[in-house]
Structures are given as C-alpha cells and as structure tokens.
Amino acid sequence: MKIRSLWLTVLVGLWLTGMPQPAAQGKSGREIMEAVLHKTTWKDLQADVTLVLQNARGEKRVRKIKMYSRKRTEDESDMLMRFLSPPDVRNTAFLIIEHLDRDDERYLYLPALRRIKRIASSGKGGNFMSSDFTYYDIGRPKLNDWTYRRLEDQTLDGRECYTIESLPATPQISKDTGYNKIIRWIRKDLLVTVQSLYFDRGDREWKRLTVRRVENISGVWFQTDLLMTDLQTGHRSELIFENIRVNQNIPANFFSVRFLQRIR
C-alpha cells in the first residue's frame, strides 16, 4: 500500500467549516465561500480515521489510521498519522510539519525498513492513499485559486443549501487539481459543504462527494462521514472520522521524528 502525503489540512479543509453564519444569506458566491473557510477554534485534535476503498466489483480494502494534529500558528499546522491496519503496514507513521514560507517537511517511518525517510510532496492532484480523494480534496482550498458564482439555492435531503460553482482562476489551477469545475452544496444553517460535484478537464462529470454525517464536537462542525464516488469508473471511497477529541493539549514535541517510531 502506498503512503500518500498532504494530510496536513484535512481537518480544516473538507470537514471543518466553522460556525454557522446566517448573515451570509444575501452574499455572493465568493463571500459565502469565505465564510465557509472561516477559521476554526480548535488548537489540537486527535481522531480515528477509517478509509474504505471499494471498486466497481464491490471488492473492499480498509485502512485504519490514528491521527493527531495541532495548529502551530494561525496558518501552520503539524500532523502525525499512524496506521493501525491493514497489518502489513501497521505502525507505519507519517509526519507533516507545515511551513508558510518554504516547503512542508514530510517524514515517513516505515517499520519494515526501520527507517525514517524524508519525502517530497506528491502534488495536489494525486490520489490520497489510492482513494478517490485527492490531496486537493482533503486539503484546505485557497480562496483566490478559484472564481465563484452563486447558482440557484437548492434543497438537499430537506436542508436548504447554497449552490456555488467554482471555476479555476488560472489554467495552472485546473492542471494541478485536475478539475475544470466544482459545484458545491453548502448547508445554509451550518455553512458546511454536504455535497460536491467535480468535473474533469474535459468538463465531464467526474466525482461526487456526499457528506453523510456532520457532527458538532466541542463547538466545531466536522464532516465525519464522507463518500467520494468516481462516476466514470464506479470506484468509491469512504472516509470516516470517529472519536474526535479537540484541545487535549498535545505537547508540541509530539509532532517530531522522535515520536514517529514509538510503539505507543
């Protein structure tokens, strides 16, 4: 199994979207997205993550991960992930130290090799752990990378939603992400994305993200059960977060190579 990178902002990107702001009702698409990306209140958190991959024939692969994260500064975070299963990659661990002014530091501990390796970025368009989520999908989007257009509001599963169309601001963004267009359905009451439709560079429908569960934990809204379906291949990936705990005062030195290879 491949260990993929760029998890650093997973929690602030897809499933962490701030407090409800009813005042956004009359705003433009960009203003709504700005509100969605509003900063959150947690300092550190830990969670159990399950990633289920399923191909069109129904064959499944399950990966379980223990994840820890903390905000080092307003815009920089650290993350440590440890694989719990499948057993052949158990105790494989991954550390990302994010930097604003230079490349992130990424370290991978491979228990089979008993080594910690410093690894390079793999780009945002790549798939995360062979799943249908790309690094871009699970990362924190940059507001200025896209232009936004508010479409007609819709109701999804009985919930009022804003519908926002995002177009890449430059051809390079389209090339990097692989997307020509993204349409998001954002719950008005929570300002949480509950569905997204991704279009490939040929402007064909490519993937659909369905958020199956949203939970409020310690005052922060989390998308805790996500399903990404590749509409072209039938492959699907579920990302499930459990036992989320925030502000546990995880020590700063926990996010270091020292703790990568520890058994506990």
Partner 1 sequence: MKTLGHATPTSLLRRIGVVLMLVPLFWQPGRAQPSLGGYFKLFYHVNTNAPYPYDRLGSRLQLVLTQTLGRRAALFTAVNFNFEETAVTGLAQESRARGMEIYPVESYIDLYFPFFDLRLGKQFIFWGKADWINPTDNINPWDYQNIAAEIEDYRIPVMAARFTLYLGGWSLEGVLIPRFQPNKIPIEVPKTMGPYPVEKLPAALPENRLANAEWAMKLSSQWLGIDYSISYFQGFHKFPDIRIQPRLNAYHVPEAILWQEQYNPIQIIGGDFVVTQGRWVIKGEGAYFRTRDRQGRNVFLENPFIQYILGFDYRFSDDLSLTLQCSQLRRLKYDPDRERLMWRQLGNPAPRIPEPLESSLSTRLVYQILPYTSLQLIGVMNAKHRDLFILPILYHELADGLNVYGGVTLFRGPEDSPFGQNQKYSRAFLEIKYSF
Residue 141 DSSP code: P
Q: Min. distance of Cβ 105 from partner 1 in angstroms?
A: 7
In the complex with partner 1, which residue's Cβ is closer, 135 or 185?
135
In the complex with partner 1, which residue's Cβ is closer, 23 or 253?
253
Q: Min. distance of Cβ 219 from partner 1 in angstroms?
A: 29
Binding window for partner 1 (CB under 8 A); candidates: 96-104, 143-151, 174-182, 215-223: 96-104
Decide: is 175 part of the binding site for partner 1 (CB under 8 A).
no
How far is 57 from 150, CA to CA, in rounded Å? 37
DSSP 208-257: EEEEEEEEEETTEEEEEEEEEEETTT--EEEEEEEEEEE-----GGGSSH
222 to each of 95, 147, 149, 244, how far by Cα in Å?
Answer: 22, 25, 25, 9
Decide: is 130 part of the binding site for partner 1 (CB under 8 A).
yes
Residue selected from 20, 21, 119, 159 as contacting partner 1 according to rule CB under 8 A: 119
Q: What burial letters (b/e) apply to 116-132, b meaning 16+ CB within 10 Å?
A: beeeeeeebeeebbebb
In the complex with partner 1, which residue's Cβ is closer, 98 or 214?
98
In the complex with partner 1, which residue's Cβ is closer, 86 or 219?
86
Residue selected from 74, 103, 152, 203 as contacting partner 1 according to rule CB under 8 A: 103
In the complex with partner 1, which residue's Cβ is closer, 2 or 38?
2
| Pairing assessment for the beta strands 105-110 and 192-199 based on DSSP bridges | unpaired
151 in Cβ contact with 163 (< 8 Å): yes
Whether the bond between 86 and the residue before it is cis, its omega within 30 degrees of 0, is yes
How far is 145 from 155, CA to CA, in rounded Å? 27
Decide: is 178 part of the binding site for partner 1 (CB under 8 A).
no
Binding window for partner 1 (CB under 8 A); candidates: 19-27, 43-51, 103-111, 238-246: 103-111
Residue selected from 21, 50, 122, 147 as contacting partner 1 according to rule CB under 8 A: 122
Point out which residues pair with 192 in neighbouring strands: 187
Binding mask 225-264 for partner 1 (x = CB under 8 A): ----------------------------x----x---xxx
Q: How many residues bind partner 1 (CB under 8 A)?
A: 35
How far is 239 from 237, CA to CA, in rounded Å? 7
Decide: is 25 part of the binding site for partner 1 (CB under 8 A).
no
How far is 136 from 253, CA to CA, in rounded Å? 28
Residue selected from 70, 82, 106, 207 as contacting partner 1 according to rule CB under 8 A: 106
Q: Min. distance of Cβ 110 from partner 1 in angstroms?
A: 10
190 in Cβ contact with 20 (< 8 Å): yes
17 in Cβ contact with 11 (< 8 Å): no
Query: Which residues are at the interface with partner 1 (CB under 8 A)?
Result: 1-2, 4, 53, 55, 61-62, 85-88, 90, 99, 102-103, 105-106, 112-115, 118-123, 126-127, 130, 253, 258, 262-264
